[in-house]
Chain A
Amino acid sequence: MTRYVGSRLLALLPILLGVAAVSFSLVHIMPGDPLDSLMDPQSTQAERDAFAAALGLTGSLPEQFFTWLGRVAGGDLGRSIAFRQPVLSMVVGALQNTLLLAGAAAVFGLLVGSVLGTLAAVHRGRALDRGVTGLSLIGLSIPSFWLGMILVALFGVTWQLLPVSGIGSGSGTDLLSHLVLPTLAVSAPVIGLTTRMVRTHVAEILEGQHVEFLRANGMGRARLLLQVWRNALPNVLTIFGLELGNLLGGSALVEIVFSWPGVGQLVYQAVTQRDIPVIQASLLLVGLLYVVINLAVDVGQTLLDPRRRSQVVST
């Protein structure tokens, strides 16, 4: 198992290099010269050269990339042009907020989706199943930012029940009350997808003859569902990991709607201000986190599934 995890970590290296290359290149393939939008049009060539050198924009593109990569490897992600402070602390702070929102939405979506999916599977073919499946389709189809705006209009403006902007004091019940609406908005597609996936997996397992054997031997419904869930767990874990990864970038529009100070909001601001170091660092860290979460899901799934575990041990 240790060898398996080691080999998977080694296999990450080229992926991480790719993530770094994409993060670096995206800024450079954007149309226009970044210096034009960042500098006073009246600035002299000497001032432009000095600014370009400070941003690491001198030399050929590969030279710029490896210089940037060397700095990044040493933990130096540069300074924000707009905020004039170290990028690392800005992005890490924003990433924590994004992880909080994505984590809350993934956990909430997974819990609700698992309950709905299991209910639909147990009552498969009946009205409850059709109703839940229809609802899940709606959840999947609704754009999160649109749902966010509806929630703001209803809970913030009309009923004035919950705060709709920022994270408040950032702790305790204040943070929780600020978290409710963005979590609901972000988790709608997660609930939809989880419901459908859990319904499919649980229904398939319930129809298996090994479950029929348990039923024929008098096992009660609660214990039976527990057994079924043990079988479904690796698949549910995969859904959770993929959703969490997707939400890191996918909740950006909702962050903007709710002024949630996460990476999405940060990148949005950085793009409008052409704050190159912030854009590069945000893309890089989100990409790294996405890759690491996927690795954790893969390893977790291998640990939970005896078939995969035995394959790993025997190779």
Chain B
Amino acid sequence: MTGPPILRAQGVHKTFRSRDRSGRRHETAALRGVDLEVPLGGSLAVVGESGSGKSTLARILVGLDAPDSGTVHLDGVDFPASTGATRRALQRQIQMIFQDPYRSLNPRMSVRSALRFAHHAEQPGADADEACRTMMQLVRLPESYLDRRPHSLSGGERQRVNIARALIARPNVVVADEAVSALDRSVQADILNLLADLRRELRLTLVYITHDVHTVSAVCEDVLVLHQGLVVERGRAATVMADPTADYTRALVAAAPTVDRPLVTVRPTSPPVAGVPS
């Protein structure tokens, strides 16, 4: 632990109810009493296979969905129960980087508009253009990209814009929900390195949701393993990934495909050249 917890979830339950074509009710327990705690400036990876409840947990943490029971405290305040100005202040504190870079930016908006929009929502009246330029430098994109629209950007560039959009609000906590899973392997490494650097530079608290166990140690200090909505293992990322104790974690690590070289060695040497997809 590097400080007091800024994000704490206790006993979070979430069940989805649906009906099939014949009208029969179905219930899917996505989260079954999940606890987690992330200190200010800390980083926690939430790992599990598809359907383990990772994305549901991410949506609850950022306030997109409400838990059926349990609490989520952000900076000591019950986030799901908050309303009005308190809730808006909390929403400013936690931002999400979405999974799909192709669907997470409004196709009608230029990069500048998307960033200004996010900036204005958080800090009305402040110098949005200056903030936009700063963000582009931060995510290592040329300023000229501010006038581009999403369809003229590559997947990696779009995800950098997504990161910039999340950071322009100056949040304390960033939740990255499978932020690199839709990208090529080499681009994944770029984005993960960028996230790790930004976390250090901005002293961000990061919740990194992923199914890719190989990337966990490179990005986060702590890890929490989810299986069918239950936490089956938690601890220091390096320790858990090297020597998992739960059978499920062992199976997850064993089943993960390996890469030829460590991700941390792949780093961009200079900002991308305008017009050339990274």
B interface residues, tally (CB under 8 Å) = 28
Is A209 a contact partner of B63 (Cβ separation < 8 A)? no
Interchain CB contact under 8 A, B98 and A213: yes
Contact of A210 among B64, B88, B106, B152 (CB under 8 A): B106
Q: Which residues of chain B are near A213, meaning CB under 8 Å?
A: 96, 98, 104, 118, 165
The interface residues of chain A, by DSSP majority, are classed as helix
Counting CB contacts under 8 A, is B99 at the interface? yes
Interface string of A204-227 (1 = CB under 8 A from B): 000011101101111100000001
**Are B169's CB and A209's CB within 8 A?**
no
Are A219 and B121 neighbours in the complex by a CB distance under 8 Å?
Answer: yes
Q: In whole Å, how far is B214's beta carbon from the nearest beta carbon of chain A?
A: 25
A208 to B105, CA, bound (A): 8
Verify if A307 is at the interface (C-beta below 8 Å from B).
yes
Residues facing A in B99-136 (CB within 8 A) are 99-100, 103-108, 110, 114, 118, 121-122
A71 CB-CB contact with B under 8 Å: no
Task: Check A216–B149 contact: CB distance below 8 A.
Answer: no
Q: How large is the interface on A (under 10, 10 to 19, 20 to 34, 35 or more residues)?
A: 10 to 19
Q: Out of A209, A215, A217, A310, which one reaches B149, CB within 8 Å?
A: A310
Complex Cα spacing A218 to B87, Å: 8
In Å, the complex CA distance between A306 and B103 comes to 16
Residues on the B chain within 8 Å of A230, using CB: 108
CB closest residue in chain A, given B100: A209
| Distance, CA A212 to CA B62, complexed state (A) | 10
Within 8 A of B (CB), among A277-309: 305-307
Q: Does A231 contact B (CB under 8 A)?
A: yes
Query: What is the CA–CA distance of A276 and B168 in the complex, to the nearest angstrom?
Result: 70
Asked if B91 CB lies within 8 Å of chain A CBs, one says yes
B95 at interface by CB-CB < 8 Å: yes
Whether the Cβ atoms of A231 and B106 lie closer than 8 Å is yes
List residues of B (156-173) whose CB comes within 8 Å of A's CBs: 165, 169
What residues make up the interface of B, taking CB atoms closer than 8 Å to A? 62-64, 87-88, 91-92, 95-96, 98-100, 103-108, 110, 114, 118, 121-122, 149, 151-152, 165, 169
A-B contact pairs, 17 of them (CB 8 A): A208-B103, A209-B100, A209-B104, A210-B103, A212-B64, A212-B98, A213-B104, A213-B165, A215-B64, A216-B91, A231-B108, A306-B107, A306-B110, A306-B149, A307-B107, A307-B149, A307-B151
6 more CB-based (< 8 A) A-B contacts, given A217-B118, A230-B108:
A208-B103, A210-B114, A212-B104, A216-B64, A217-B121, A217-B169
